[in-house]
Amino acid sequence: MVDYTNYWSVRAETPAKQIIRWIGIAQSKYFDWKKRYGKANEHNGAVPRDFWLEDWEKRAILDFHQTNPLEGYRRLAFMMLDADIVAVSPSSVYRVLRDAGAMDRFNGKKSKKGTGFKQPVRPHDHWHLDISYLNICGTFFFMCSVLDGCSRSIIHWEIREKMEETDVEIILQRARENHPDAKPRIITDNGPKFISRDFKEFIRIAGMTHGKTSPYYPQSNGKIERYHRTIKGDCIRESQIKTVDDARRIVKQYVQHYNEVRLHSAIGYVTPLTKLAGEEKAVFDSRDRKLEAARETRRLRRQQQAA
């Protein structure tokens, strides 16, 4: 290709860049070929290097490690070097032990931080509880919400002037009164209201269990965090709220819309109330039937038009 381009560049008195542009070759590719012009083609496979360890050296490292299992790889490297067993660097010893799986004991148990909870399969398996702030005409109020982790339904909520441990217990008890047969696992963060001895005792007496999220990782309680962000962005900040009574009235309307009207993307675009009642399969089947009927109608209409 280099000879071809040079030949026609001279004959046509045209720059080589124009020739390769007409041919459809990238300039970078052409100049790579030109740089390698006249050189022998070589394979690009792995070429053995002088510093690569031989098999007997790898076996010697593993045998020495089994003899001294409590020593770190750096100390092993210098011990073998002093004993004239094998002359290798600490990094080479590390790679050999790592590839052989002998470094697992140094890794320790992996942290579960950020992995979240095992997702609930039924309504009322998990209730997420969290507190958020509301700024109403320069005064801060507390909004506490209880959200079902499976259906994303808001079980109960309240706006209060203060939010102490007793207030949280009252809100949670009222949520239980709406569903007296539920024995959920309560998911909270590590706030002082949720780690107190009295709150733990309340959870135990009520027959529920308590799970706390990872410290400094609010994403692990992301369902309720996302709901609070949604209600603030779509409801509270879009409304003219002058008093706390206005806030309670507007939030009540939005929660009803959120539970009964708004389609939730995380549960297959059905309403949280539908998911809570276990009726989502009937909705999915109805949608499938409607789509199939519409496809059949289009097919028959095309056949009639083609006839």
DSSP assignment of 213-261: PPTT-GGGGHHHHHHHHHHIIIIITTS---SHHHHHHHHHHHHHHHHHT
Both tokens of 53, joined, read 């360890």
The per-residue pLDDT string of the chain (307 residues; one tens digit each, 9 = 90 and over) reads 778 787 777 877 788 888 888 888 888 887 877 787 777 666 666 666 656 888 999 999 999 999 988 888 888 999 998 889 999 889 899 999 988 888 765 555 666 665 666 788 899 999 999 999 999 888 999 999 999 999 999 999 999 999 999 999 999 999 999 999 999 999 999 999 999 999 999 999 999 999 998 877 777 788 999 999 999 999 998 888 889 999 999 999 999 999 999 999 999 999 999 999 999 999 999 999 999 999 999 999 999 998 7
CA-based R_g, the chain, Å: 34
Whether residues 244 and 284 share a domain: the answer is: no
Asked if residues 157 and 146 have their Cβ atoms less than 8 Å apart, the reply is yes
Backbone phi, psi, residue 125, to 5°: -80, -45
Statement to judge: residues 145 and 249 lie in one domain: yes
Query: What CA–CA distance (Å, rounded) separates 142 from 153?
Result: 20
Provide the b/e sequence for 214-245 (b: ≥16 CB within 10 Å).
beeeeebbebbbebbeebbeebbeeeebeebe
pTM of the model: 0.63
157 - beta bridge partners? Answer: 145
Residue 282 forms part of a structural domain: yes
Residue 119 lies in a domain: no
Q: Residue 46 falls within a domain, yes or no?
A: no
Both 163 and 194 in one domain: the answer is yes
22 and 98 share one domain: no
Please check whether residue 14 lies inside any domain of the structure: yes
Structure tokens at 305: 């038009």
CATH number of residue 221's parent domain: 3.30.420.10
Are 267 and 299 within one domain? no
Could you give the count of Cα atoms lying within 13 Å of 252 in the half-sphere of its Cβ? Answer: 8
Residues 159 and 235 in one domain: yes
Q: By residue range, what is the domain housing residue 189?
A: 126-276
User: How many independent structural domains does the chain possess?
Assistant: 4
